[in-house]
Amino acid sequence: MPVKITFPHAGEYYVVFKDLMTNLGFEVVVPPPTSQRTLDLGVKYAPAQACLPFKITLGNLIEGIEKGADVVGMIGGKTGICRLAYYSEMYQKILADNGYSVDLLAVKVKKEFWDNLKKHQPELTFRQFIKTIRSFWRKLILFELIREKSLELRPYEVKKGDCTRIKRSFLQELEQTTDLSALKALRHKIIKGFASIPIDENRKVIKIGLVGEFFLLIDQFSTMNMEEFLGNNGILLKYSLSFSEFFIGSLKQKRFLDKYLPTHNHKVYQFAKEYITRPIGGHGRETIGEAVVFRQKGYDGVIHLYPFSCMPEVVAGSITSKVSVDWQIPILSICMDEHTGQAGFQTRLEAFTDMIKRKKFMPPQNENDIVHLEVSQ
């Protein structure tokens, strides 16, 4: 009997992970889409002050287990400063305490993943494993391409909803494609498909970079569909982090390269150095650095999202107001938790983006006006 595995949703990334797990020989149980019930389950079982990603992923896992899974797959290692490194231990404790007996499979770029995998899938050969990883990687890159394209084009689309529709159809196609060569062909199709969307290039669009906690950047439930809301309001969004970078970033070799070669992250760390000298866990240092990099690339503003009680991002959030003054870029720092209301959240986003639009398209009489945003929540 095949082992049934489930994993948390992270935005729409399940499309990619489902494929990975199926190819590795598991039977995949995709948990129902993240809903209010998911969050309620998470809030019920998780410690009160755990961070929002923990609560949502826990809810996902429980819903997956209810559907019959015996193993849960979860991103996360054992090293690091932030609480992510202790997630797996907490899942085990909370799930066991509440009568869900499951095994845990940590998905990560370490040898441990292979060892752990062998325990569940003794017949898996290394060759097959490498092949699976290769196709997983290609899919991941394609997925991110779809997402990026949809964010780039959404503010320009003539007919509202075109991007979302095309994105959805491509995601479906991606889910069904498994062949490596077919994936190559799909890449061209995606680029063509997005190019065929009628766009209005004369629109006044502002560019905003998104920085902050990794999960909130990819999950659309916890940010109340911010992607679409901002896109429809004429804002081009760009994420500072994606899953592919998350995986590569955990490699030692990558960190070594970043230290000495002029890679993107090298630049980020150089900029962040003035504010945060060493890694403080999570993506605290990246948040600061990426905000400055966005400024250098000519973005009009930065939105910083972090869950309540996230230790590294609270530090980064305090420092963003200094970064904002030093580099003359508006930064909105928003703290999210399960009580954040949609209306209030969207009002803040609107106010922020309206301010940037006004500044950009209607220059102030007094040129020396410095827009400095003091945000408190």
Which residues sit at the interface with other proteins, rule CB under 8 A?
A: 47-51, 78-83, 85-86, 89-90, 93-94, 97, 275-278, 280-282, 284, 308-312, 314-315, 317-319, 321-322, 335, 376-377
Distance of alpha carbon 74 from alpha carbon 362, whole angstroms? 48
Least CB distance to other proteins at residue 3 (A): 23
What's the CA gap between 176 and 15, in Å, rounded? 9
The DSSP code sequence of 214-271 is HHHHH-TTTTTSHHHHHHHTTEEEEES--HHHHHHHT-HHHHHHHHHS--HHHHHHHH
35 vs 377 by CB, closer to other proteins: 377
**Shortest CB 288 distance to other proteins, Å:** 9
Closer of 60 and 324 to other proteins (Cβ): 324
What is the closest distance, in whole angstroms, from the C-beta atom of residue 373 to other proteins in the complex?
14
Cβ closest to other proteins, residue 81 vs residue 183? 81
Closest CA to 24 of 229, 245, 178, 148: 178
Residue 294: CB minimum distance to other proteins, A: 18
Name the minimum Å distance from CB 85 to other proteins.
6
Question: What is the C-alpha separation between 184 and 356, in angstroms, rounded?
Answer: 40
Q: How far is the CB of 132 from other proteins (least distance, A)?
A: 28
What is the 3 state secondary structure string of 75-121? Answer: ECCCCCCCCHHHHHHHHHHHHHHCCCCCEEEEECCCHHHHHHHHHHC
**Cβ atoms of residues 108 and 80 within 8 Å:** no
In this complex, which beta carbon is closest to other proteins, that of residue 85 or of residue 171?
85
Least distance to other proteins from the beta carbon of 278, Å?
Answer: 7
Are the C-beta atoms of 240 and 267 separated by less than 8 Å?
no
Q: Which is nearer to other proteins, 273 or 297 (CB)?
A: 273
Q: Nearer Cβ to other proteins, position 22 or 309?
A: 309
Query: Rounded to an integer, what distance in angstroms lies between the CA atom of residue 105 and that of residue 116?
Result: 7
> 10 Å Cβ neighbour count for 289?
28
CB of residue 282 vs other proteins: minimum separation in angstroms? 7
Choose between 93 and 131: whose C-beta lies nearer to other proteins: 93
Cβ-based nearer residue to other proteins, 125 or 376: 376
Shortest reach from residue 169's CB to other proteins, in Å: 41
CA gap 311, 54 in Å, rounded: 14
Of 7 and 275, CB closest to other proteins:
275
Which residue's CB is nearer to other proteins, number 201 or number 374?
A: 374
Q: Are 289 and 272 in contact (CB under 8 A)?
A: yes
Element (H or E) spanning 307, and its range? Answer: strand 301-307
Q: Minimum Å distance from CB 41 to other proteins? A: 16
* Sequence-ordered list of residues with C-beta below 8 angstroms from that of 18, at least 6 positions apart, any chain: 28, 30, 175
Q: DSSP string spanning 158-177?
A: SSTTHHHHHHHHHHHHHHH-
Structure-block tokens of residue 312: 């590294």
